[in-house]
Amino acid sequence: MADDPAVVRVELDRSSPVPLYHQLATAIEHAIETGSLPPGRRLENEIALAKRLRVSRPTARRALQELVDLGMLVRKRGVGTQVAPVRVRRKVDLSSLYDDLQRSGRHPTTSVLEYSVAPGTAEVIEALELPAEADVVTIRRIRLADGEPLALMTNHLALEVAPSYEELGESGLYHALRQRGVEIHMAHQQIGARIATASEARLLEEKPKVALLTMERTAYDAAGRAIEHGQHVYLASRYSFSTTLFAS
Amino acid sequence: MADDPAVVRVELDRSSPVPLYHQLATAIEHAIETGSLPPGRRLENEIALAKRLRVSRPTARRALQELVDLGMLVRKRGVGTQVAPVRVRRKVDLSSLYDDLQRSGRHPTTSVLEYSVAPGTAEVIEALELPAEADVVTIRRIRLADGEPLALMTNHLALEVAPSYEELGESGLYHALRQRGVEIHMAHQQIGARIATASEARLLEEKPKVALLTMERTAYDAAGRAIEHGQHVYLASRYSFSTTLFAS
DNA sequence: CGCATCCTTATGTCCTAACATATGAGCCTG
DNA sequence: CAGGCTCATATGTTAGGACATAAGGATGCG
């Protein structure tokens, strides 16, 4: 029968510090990603799964739930558990433009237009949650993809966390921050559009008044501290944002 | 002492069909949102919470976990559970423009410019995963906020799921779909920008060549079926997208 | 007085055990 | 044979208990 429940081959290491449910989730995830569990395939029910692997039902359940949260499995009461249809099965991650470009096979380069230290404007001070008049590092850069201008990026950071001009290097701000031990955990961003100013058009080597995508972002670390605030513009003809949304 | 664990006042309805853990999660969420549990405030530990409310520890745990997933609580082993720092504490939800506007206190209205049935274009057929030449319902609408034009929306749906012209009504497409029992679960969208065409500018009552935000979205139900594909344009001067991203 | 160690605390992991309920298939009746 | 009903199935909810482990403070020793 084609609708025999799939049996995943799993080896659990009970002496490992990584939780059993996570080991199991990872194993099933791997089976889905390698295609040995194709979309639509029915899994054995959680009781059988638990029994076979000699774990408790809650443990098996939790593994399955983990994959449902990732969008890789679909469960229906009274019916069973199925591998979700193809689509995206990864959480929307906080990717940097640099990594994005690299992943899509383009060759990103960056040059720094400005690196300065000065008291922050009211807007920046508020976004970074700093005391009034505090000094702020401002970085302006232009990013090119395969040699063609793509975006103008302006970032503001508190002095304590800002990478030096040298550390900034080629590979992007978030990469430099990570090397300083600062991990971005969450960000707010607002995406809009407007017409380019004369100087923006000149820098981007475009005719005046081209359409720009604008993005304003404030990024926070795991403890909730504001790390970075940036205002960026992208050439709309060469870049767009892709996102995946889930209903609550 | 200022660091006494907070005690949330909760009433659980054990005869309700909504799960205890969700009742509890909602109650705590409400306490946080109304400010009676301020950011940083420590909660009583989960054992005490469970005992006080006469629920099992797993139930209390699950409620707390739900709020951790929403980013409203932070837990640390050996330390306790705290209300997360201010920020956003809502998942990025798949909100409809209509609901967005209503929540922000503006008054949205919609008028239907076109409602037609015809064989879909190649792009639409592919997005909706329909057989070639299949009939598709096309809906074009203009949305106003407080009487001023804001967006032009074009949606394509398969005949079987499309709301009728009458069902479409005032309150938005997703609302109409929900009333037909179709739940949107996930969507892919791509956000870009461009200059308005002459006819777009006319419909939006704007001068020619204003900046527009563009959005292309394909929405899916829980089973992964493509439900709706839309191409929308927004007046950039009146609208922007806000999102919250989390690192993986 | 500084430093290492122990101990308390609270969450993390894992188990067994019921009962509730949505779904779909098959049976049974009119 | 059509339509309603029953029942098996699989997931959803809840309970109660045991042990592991990270964090931070208290303790005691050099």
Closest chain B residue to A186, measured at CA: B246
| Alpha helices, H only, A7-133 | 20-33, 46-53, 57-69, 97-103, 122-128
Q: What is the CA radius of gyration of chain A?
A: 24
Q: How far is CA B120 from CA B73, B214, B215, in A?
A: 47, 21, 19
Taking all residues of chain A, what is their mean pLDDT, rounded to a whole number? Answer: 86
Interatomic CA–C1' length for residue A48 and nucleotide C17, angstroms = 16
Contact A213 B193 (CB under 8 A): yes
What is the model's pLDDT at position A154? 96
Alpha helices in chain B (DSSP H): 20-33, 46-53, 57-69, 97-103, 122-128, 165-168, 173-179, 198-203
Covered bases, chain C (protein CB within 7 Å)? 9-18, 21-24
B1: confidence class by pLDDT, cuts 50, 70, 90: very low
A125-148 pLDDT tens trace: 999 988 888 899 999 999 999 999
With CA atoms as reference, the chain B residue closest to A62 would be B62
Task: Select, from the ranges A186-190, B2-6, B10-14, the one with the highest average predicted confidence (pLDDT).
Answer: A186-190
Q: Please give the average per-residue pLDDT across B80-93, as a whole number.
A: 68
Find the distance separating the first CA and the last CA of chain B, reported in whole Å: 38
Predicted pLDDT at A86: 67
- Mutating which of B129, B240, B244, B248 best tests the A interface, going by the most A Cβ atoms within 10 A? B240
Lowest mean pLDDT, pick from A77-86, A228-237, B95-104:
B95-104
Name which of A68, A240, A242 to mutate to probe chain B: the one with the most chain B Cβ atoms within 10 A of its Cβ. Answer: A240
Cβ of residue A2 closer than 8 Å to a chain B Cβ: no
- Looking at per-residue pLDDT, the higher value among A114 and B182 belongs to A114
Which tokens sit at A203? 């820098």
**For A167-209, what is each residue's pLDDT tens digit?**
887 677 888 887 777 778 788 889 999 999 999 999 999 999 9
Q: Is the model more confident about B21 or about A8?
A: B21
Nearest CA in chain A to B188: A244
DSSP B96-142: -HHHHHHHTT--EEEEEEEEEEEEPPHHHHHHHT--TT-EEEEEEEE
All domains in chain B, ordered by first residue: 20-83 (1.10.10.10), 97-235 (3.40.1410.10)
What per-residue confidence (pLDDT) applies to B90?
A: 52
On the question of pLDDT at A1 being above 50, the answer is no
Q: CA–CA separation, A136 vs A130, rounded Å?
A: 9
Q: Which amino acid is at B205?
A: E
Average pLDDT value for chain B: 86
pLDDT in tens, B215-248: 999 998 777 778 899 999 999 999 998 887 877 6
Please identify which residue in the block is written with the tokens 């504490």. Answer: B89
State the nucleotide closest to A19 in CA–C1' terms.
C13
The vertex-B92 CA angle with B247 and B161, nearest 5°, equals 130
A4 DSSP 8-state letter: P
Please state, in angstroms and rounded to a whole number, the distance separating the CA atoms of residues B61 and B236. 44
Cβ-defined contact of B185 to A247 (cutoff 8 Å): yes
Mean pLDDT to the nearest integer, A1-12: 72
What does the pLDDT read at residue A2? Answer: 40
How confident is residue A92, by pLDDT bands cut at 50, 70 and 90? Answer: low
Q: Would you state the pLDDT for residue B157? A: 93
What is the per-residue pLDDT for A96? 74
- Predicted confidence band of residue B167 (pLDDT cuts 50, 70, 90): confident
Phi, psi of B21 (to 5 degrees): -65, -30
User: What gap in Å lies between CA B218 and CA B126, rounded to an integer?
Assistant: 11
Mean pLDDT, to the nearest integer, of B18-43? 90
Q: How far apart are CA B213 and CA B238, in angstroms?
A: 10
Local confidence band at B159 (pLDDT 50, 70, 90 cut-offs): confident
The predicted structure's pLDDT at residue A143: 92
pLDDT at residue B107, rounded to an integer: 86
d(CA A74, CA B185): 11
**Which sign, positive or negative, has the C-alpha torsion B65, B67, B68, B70?**
positive
B124 burial (CB, 10 Å; 0-12 / 13-18 / 19+) is: buried
Mean pLDDT, range B151-166, rounded to an integer: 90
| Contact map slice: B 74-113 vs A, CB within 8 A | 84-88, 90-94
Closest residue to C23 (CA, C1′): A78
Interface check B68 vs A, CB under 8 A: no
What is the Cα–Cα distance from A180 to A159, expressed in whole angstroms? 13
Whether A221 and A227 have beta carbons less than 8 Å apart is answered as yes
Tokens matching residue A60:
């098996």
CB A62 within 8 A of CB B61: no
C-beta atoms of A71 and B236 within 8 A: no
Mean pLDDT, rounded, for A147-170: 88
Q: What is the pLDDT at residue B246?
A: 74
